[in-house]
Structure 1
Amino acid sequence: MTTTSDDMTQKPLSPPSAVDEEYYWDFVTFSVDDVLYRLPKYRFVNGSETFASEYGLDQDQGSEEEYAGVEDSYPDAVKKLDVAAADFRALLKVLYPKTDKASHQELSLSTDEWLAVLKLSSKWRFNYVRKLAIERLSPLAGMKPSEKIRLGREYAVESWLLSGYKELVTRKAGIAKEEVPLVGWETVHELWGVREMWRSCQATCDCKEIPLRPTLDLTIQDSLRAEFDGIAESQQQYYTRQEREEYAERKAIAEREKEEAVCREAEIVRLALAEEEERKKVEELAKEVEVRRQKLSSPVTSTMKIAVNARPAADSESDVESRPSSPPPKPKRKANRKY
């Protein structure tokens, strides 16, 4: 059997005409401290709109069409990140965990690594990752109160801030001199007042009365209301999608309840005004009836009644007097009789 040259020539394989919508991933290359990292970009795109927009990952690079069937290493641009390589690696451990289980509970990161994750997730608004880092770091066991306060302020974590303040208030030792610059003079002044009030209450109040008094948490928050309000406002930018939906729902409910309260108040005012108007009408009617009663029962009114009753007889006498008198009858003349 002979083989022709045509048989020896093989036609090149045609590239596939379509790509899988779910498992044909775009890759992105980052440069951090002169170290390259090449990763599927979907975690960055889905995890943070802020990061995707800042580094142009949300733009269509045409990989599914232009580079379909070509080698996997298409010429994507290198994104340079101005962060520490160790911090970025800690973030990647959470975004691309090397574990067979989907749960992040299997992640084994040190406290410093979780703090690095918190730092970068807050910087780039990876809000789900940030929430996870806060959960894994809480309650900051072993940290000094001043460090809890610093981290709570820096990353807008209200529970950490409150925990640090509460520890300064309740511990036996007062606020140390070296802690004052870290906490702040004005804050120390407020906390000192709360501390003295709380210690006095603990020493003098009956235990049965303590639950009826404001809790220490509320007392601290009220004393530093401006700071806690600022933290609460800052936390909104770190809401996850679910938290944003829950917040929007709570806000809508609060606004609806406020409108209903305004309507109820307006109805109460309307009813009160109507009741007042009705009361005034009743009072005016009662006064009018009383005036009439007094007029009917007064002596002048009685005299007028008598005069009114006597008026027909008087009128008859006057009529008689005013009536012209008839002339007196003429005397009859006696007839002269002749005898």
Structure 2
Amino acid sequence: MESSVDVGQREPHLGAHLNDEMYCWELVSFVVNGYVFNVPRNPFALGSEYFATKYLQPQDKGQIALEGVSPCQFRAFLKLMFPIHSTSTTVALSKSEWLTILTLYTLWHFLDLRKLAIQHLDSQMGDPIELVVVGRAEFVPRWVMKGYEALVFKPGPITEEESDLIGDRTAVRLYIIRHTLGDEKGMPGTDVHVNVLLRGRFWEEMDSLEIGDRERKSAETILQEKMEAEEAIRLEMEAARINWFREEEDNARRIREEKERLRLRRIAEEEKRERERVEKERKAAEEEERNRKIVELEKYLDHWQKQLKEDQLLQREFAEKARREDERTAAIRIQHSNQKRRPAQEPVSNTPWLGSWISSRDRDS
């Protein structure tokens, strides 16, 4: 079986040499502001039909002058196309070099390398003004839109210097959008809402940038981006459908929770009313029992007071009887004492029982 590295190779004739089909490159000389650059011709011819048509005509066998570019810029341009030998598998370029590369690749329609430069710069483009200015110059509409969004949500006002860089008309339009969002009570802040407002104000500019962007993209890239956009739309619709179902589930859950809350609240109110009824009955029973005891106590007190009065009355009667008895006894003793001092005489009394009583008492004594 023939090795893959040998496919397409032919054995040279004796004494003759064949150009290698992959690594025998024709050189081309570019003159940039007095500096000569000798580099392989093939990457330029294959990388950009626009560049090849403009600068690499068959009759142009001599040095080719490139206008509007400095040697430093062209050197950065070549760094990505022809990396200097190193142990690293990636090319280390600064942000300024990537910006220069993007500018020249956009200018000369090197479509794939332009796409690569944009991908590398995506994460490094943070300043809103830079996004707008570079995005306009290099036909990157999403950078311009991103810069506009950042300026819309900027905490402070757009300064005069920023207005000079992006244009007074643009600054006024952004101010109108900021004012519109401010009137809508606290800036809704959804990306879709702001994007709609921005596209409504800048649709002409966005259309022009998108046309320029498509002109600087390969057919494969356009097809890929179309497929990616369709997939993004599909995913967005799927996400919207999922969100709708989630919202429906959340609404159903909230309704169930609300019904359960109302049911528990109703039960709690019924329990509260039952507790209040029981408490009311308990207090009424306690009040009734207290009143009954008060009535019984009052009856007992009345009875006790009557009994006390009766006892006091009896005591007074007994005391009165005792006093009278004591007086009578004292009188009798006095009389008896007087009788002892004089000769005894037969008592004569109109009261027979008194005489008998005195006689019997004397005998007893």
Structure 1 length-normalised TM = 0.57
Total equivalences in the alignment = 216
Letter matched to residue 240 of structure 1: S
Aligned AA (2:55) = Y
1:236-255 deviation per Cα after TM superposition (whole angstroms, max 9, x unaligned): 1111241244478899xxxx
CA drift of 1:235 comes to 0.8
| 1:192 corresponds to 2:175 | yes
Contact 1:139-1:160 within 8 A present in 2 as well: no
For residue 195 of structure 2, the aligned residue among 201, 217, 242 is 217
Percent identical across equivalent pairs?
27
The equivalent of 1:115 in structure 2 is 99
Which residue in the other structure is 1:86 paired with? 72
| Rg (Cα) greater in structure | 2
- Distance apart, 1:14 and its partner CA: 7.3
1:33 aligns with 33
Q: Report the alpha carbon displacement of residue 102 of structure 1 after superposing the two structures with TM.
A: 9.6
The CA distance in 2 between the partners of 1:112 and 1:196, in whole Å, is 35
Contiguous gaps of at least 5 residues in structure 2: 1-12, 230-365
Q: Superposition RMSD on alpha carbons, in Å?
A: 3.0
* AA aligned opposite 2:169: E
Deviation of the 1:201 alpha carbon: 3.5
CA contact (8 A) 1:140 1:148 kept: no
Q: CA deviation at 1:167?
A: 1.4
CA contact (8 A) 2:95 2:121 kept: yes
Structure 1 pair 136–202 and aligned structure 2 pair: CA distance change class (3 A): farther
TM-score normalised by structure 2 residue count: 0.53
The whole-number CA distance in structure 2 between the counterparts of 1:17 and 1:90 is 35
Within-5 A mapping of 1:207-286: 214-246=192-224
How far off is 1:25 after superposition?
A: 1.4
The letter for the 2-side match of 1:127 is: L
The AA in structure 2 aligned to 1:194 is I
Worse-matched range after superposition: 169-178 or 133-142 = 133-142
Distance 1:15 1:237, change over 3 A: farther
Alpha-carbon separation, structure 2, partners of 1:204 and 1:119: 36
For residues 226 and 204 of structure 1, do their structure 2 counterparts lie closer, same or farther at Cα, with a shift above 3 Å needed?
closer
3-state SS of the aligned residue for 1:125? coil
Q: Provide the secondary structure at the position in 2 that maps to 1:38.
A: strand
C-alpha deviation, 1:234, in angstroms: 1.1
Match of 1:96 among 61, 76, 82: 82
Q: Name the structure where helix makes up a greater proportion of residues.
A: 2
Corresponding residue number in structure 2 for 1:133: 117
Which residue of structure 2 aligns with residue 47 of structure 1? 47
For the 8 Å contact 2:141–2:209, the answer to whether it is kept is yes
2:132 counterpart of 1:154: no
Secondary structure at the counterpart of residue 162 of structure 1: helix
Secondary structure at 1:39 match in 2: strand
- Could you give the per-residue CA deviations for residues 151-199 of structure 1, whole angstroms, max 9, x where no partner exists? 1111111121112111111011011122223222322222112112223
